[in-house]
Chains A and B, each alone.
Chain A
Amino acid sequence: MLERYTLLLFGVCMKYLKNEEEAKDAVQQIFYKVIVEIEKYKVNYFKSWIYMIAKNHCLMTLRKRHENVTIEANEKLLFSDTNVNEYTYFENELTFDSIHEALLELKKEQKQCITLFFLEKRSYHEIADRTGFTLMQVKSHIQNGKRNLKLILEKKLKHE
């Protein structure tokens, strides 16, 4: 089962450590940690758990290198809103109209990126070309747009 996550783990380690050899070593150490730790805990969401172990391991390595990890942490906040099954309860409660209304309440750039990505099924590159945003901005507008959409819909549900 662990082999399914090798590529993802290697990618995550590369993102934080930015060095191929260090990333390979980190993956091996994470595997070791997982093999040892999995017997100690009841793990319900394996993917989230292994992701957390990988991130912590990389942040610890960066700290040992005395690198400023707050930038990484801040960046992480930008993308930290999506969790597995987080939105599933919405599906029964929401109408298409309410989602559409919430979409209109988003900031212009978020609405534009969300519409192009989810409704018109455009790739990040296509959206970047069309809007003039950078790839990072496109990703950020999509992630933040999703998070804000969820917040708006939560508010609406509370008021109903």
Chain B
Amino acid sequence: MSNELLDILSNNNDKINNQKLIDYVNGNLSDIEKHEVEKWMSDHDMVNDAVEGLEHLKNKKNLQTYVEQLNKNLQNQLAQKKQHQQKRKFKEYPWIYFAISLVLLLCIIGYIIIRKFLHTGGF
């Protein structure tokens, strides 16, 4: 009883368990598990809103597919962002790439000149 009283005021249950939420919305949980999810809802407005929203879905069985689809799109977005960042990096620091190219070019020219001198017996 004492711990339950403190439970009213504590918000410690912060673990996100998506599968349990999907099962809750589909009505596949036992009473104890239902209470666990509802305790989680009462502690977190976001979870409460999410469950209310998911209950509006016409086809709740497809929920996992929707989530997988959205995650796939997220991965694409992240990949695009990474690509964009790499391009931006090049645009932001062109002098670094210019300096590296210049050093490489000088090395090649130096190598060619030395080789030429060695062949003609210039040294």
Contact = CB atoms under 8 A, between A and B. Distances in A.
- Most chain B beta carbons < 10 A, residue from A2, A3, A12, A103: A12
Nearest to B25: A11
Interface stretch (B65-73, B86-94, B104-112, B114-122): B65-73
A8 B56 contact: no
A4 B74 CA distance: 12
Contacts of A16: 53
Chain A, interface SS category: helix
B7 A10 contact: no
Chain B, interface SS category: helix
Contacts of A118: 4-5, 7-8, 39
Contacts of B57: 14, 20
Contacts of A124: 34, 38
B58 A20 contact: yes
Interface residues of A, number: 62
A134 interface: no
A23 B56 CA distance: 11
B53 A11 contact: yes
Contacts of B32: 121
Interface string B10-35: 11001010100110000000011011
Interface string A14-54: 11101010011001100110010000000000011001001
A76 to B, nearest CB: 8
Contacts of A8: 16, 21, 46-47, 50
Interface string B68-83: 0111011001100100
Interface string A105-145: 00000000010011101111110000000000001001100
Contact of B67 (A10, A12, A90): A10
Contacts of B39: 117-118
16 contacts: A3-B74, A4-B16, A7-B21, A13-B53, A23-B53, A24-B66, A28-B74, A47-B44, A47-B46, A79-B45, A82-B44, A86-B11, A87-B9, A99-B6, A142-B42, A149-B8
